[in-house]
């Protein structure tokens, strides 16, 4: 046998001793891993690898339909948010219309089972009971049941997961960010209305040049905070840069410059960036201006 430089070959006796010691060590390790009575794992040596739970394909499919993953073009969740926002005003005049929303939610998740059905029932029942109460509708309970459904969908839907809590910076799908800006009702934001974010922003810094209303600075701050969070979260550099341009007039207003150039050009840039990222953003002429008559409705 050739011995590498700097090393000494073991003698036959030392080699046999080493092998015997190794065998004994392995034998003792095997005994420590098993209970003498049952042969099962000892409590002193718990397993650190958990078996993954099997996903419910029907639930995953329903969650994708409801939340719109992965393209977020026309998800049912957007309709649900819109109707929840209008319920306190319009619910008493047509409670059947809102009850149908509950039926539609049930139909989407009819193949799901277990915990999912409890969450679905809580959300759909809200539409059958609360809208008819009008201004007395329990909006806070809507937020609870909304998050309840997000909880059962979070493992299969990015939109549901981000509804529950913010993820790591730079990991929110660009398409979801774009949908949140262009198409998602502001039901659960500070604005608490059915208007999308662009519409609510127009009333603050304008679509075309205008002076930022001095009595709306709390809303300007809330919008700036929302945009800052989306900028940090988005996973696409192009969308991030375009959102930064959209945020600029809000930052200017907070620093004392209330003469806004408006959002027409920044939103066109954001639309182009969203299209490049795979989200079909509305054309400039299709962006919702909101209802001027309801400008202050629903604001916190």
Does position 5 have pLDDT exceeding 50, yes or no? no
- 182/282: higher pLDDT: 182
- Rg of the Cα trace of the chain? 29
Among the ranges given (18-32, 97-111, 159-173, 250-264), the one the predictor scored with the smallest mean pLDDT? 18-32
Q: What digits encode the pLDDT tens for the residues 215-237?
A: 999 999 999 999 999 999 999 99
- Distance of alpha carbon 280 from alpha carbon 41, whole angstroms: 54
Evaluate whether 64 touches 156 at the Cβ level (below 8 Å).
yes
236 vs 7: CA distance, rounded Å? 56
* CA 111 to the chain's CA centroid: 23
Which of 29-38, 81-90, 125-134, 219-228 shows the lowest mean pLDDT across its residues? 29-38
How many CB atoms neighbour CB 291 within 10 A? 12
What's the pTM value of the predicted model, to 2 decimals? Answer: 0.78
The stretch 283-299 carries a mean pLDDT of 53
Calculate the CA 162 to chain-centre distance: 2
User: Token pair of 91, please?
Assistant: 């619910």
Q: Phi-psi bin for 100: left (phi > 0), alpha (psi -120 to 50), beta?
A: alpha
**In the prediction, which pLDDT does 32 show?**
36
58 is written with which tokens?
């029907």
Token pair, residue 148, equals 């309840």
Q: For residue 75, what are the CA distances in angstroms to 5, 69, 129?
A: 71, 8, 23
Give the pLDDT of residue 82. Answer: 98
Q: Which of 229, 123, 220 is nearest to 176 (CA)?
A: 229
Q: Is residue 263 classed as helix, strand or coil in its secondary structure?
A: coil
Local confidence band at 25 (pLDDT 50, 70, 90 cut-offs): very low
Mean predicted confidence (pLDDT) in 230-258:
98
Which is nearest to 217 in space by CA: 245, 255, 187, 180?
Answer: 255
């Amino acid at each position: 046998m050739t011995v590498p430089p700097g090393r000494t070959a073991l003698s036959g006796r030392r080699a046999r001793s080493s092998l015997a010691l190794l065998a004994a060590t392995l034998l003792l390790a095997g005994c420590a891993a098993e209970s003498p009575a049952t042969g099962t794992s000892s409590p002193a040596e718990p397993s650190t690898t958990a078996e993954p739970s099997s996903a419910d394909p029907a639930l995953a499919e329903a969650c994708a339909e409801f939340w719109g993953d992965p393209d977020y073009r026309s998800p049912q969740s957007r309709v649900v948010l819109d109707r929840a926002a209008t319920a306190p005003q319009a619910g008493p005049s047509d409670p059947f219309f809102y009850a149908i929303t509950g039926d539609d939610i049930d139909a989407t998740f009819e193949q799901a089972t277990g915990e999912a059905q409890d969450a679905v029932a809580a959300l759909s029942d809200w539409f059958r009971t609360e809208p008819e109460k009008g201004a007395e509708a329990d909006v806070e309970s809507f937020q609870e049941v909304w998050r309840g459904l997000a909880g059962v969908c979070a493992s299969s839907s990015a939109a549901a997961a981000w509804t529950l809590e913010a993820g790591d910076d730079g990991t929110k799908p660009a398409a979801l960010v774009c949908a949140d800006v262009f198409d998602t009702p502001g039901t659960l934001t500070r604005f608490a209305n059915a208007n999308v974010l662009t519409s609510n922003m127009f009333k603050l810094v304008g679509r075309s040049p205008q002076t930022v209303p001095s009595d709306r600075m709390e809303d300007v701050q809330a919008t700036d905070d929302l945009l800052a969070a989306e900028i940090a979260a988005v996973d696409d550099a192009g969308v991030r840069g375009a959102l930064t341009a959209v945020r600029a007039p809000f930052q200017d207003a907070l620093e004392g410059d209330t003469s806004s150039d408006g959002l027409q050009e920044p939103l066109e840039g954001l639309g182009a960036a969203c299209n490049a990222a795979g989200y079909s953003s509305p054309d400039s002429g299709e962006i919702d201006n909101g209802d001027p008559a309801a400008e202050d409705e629903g604001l916190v």
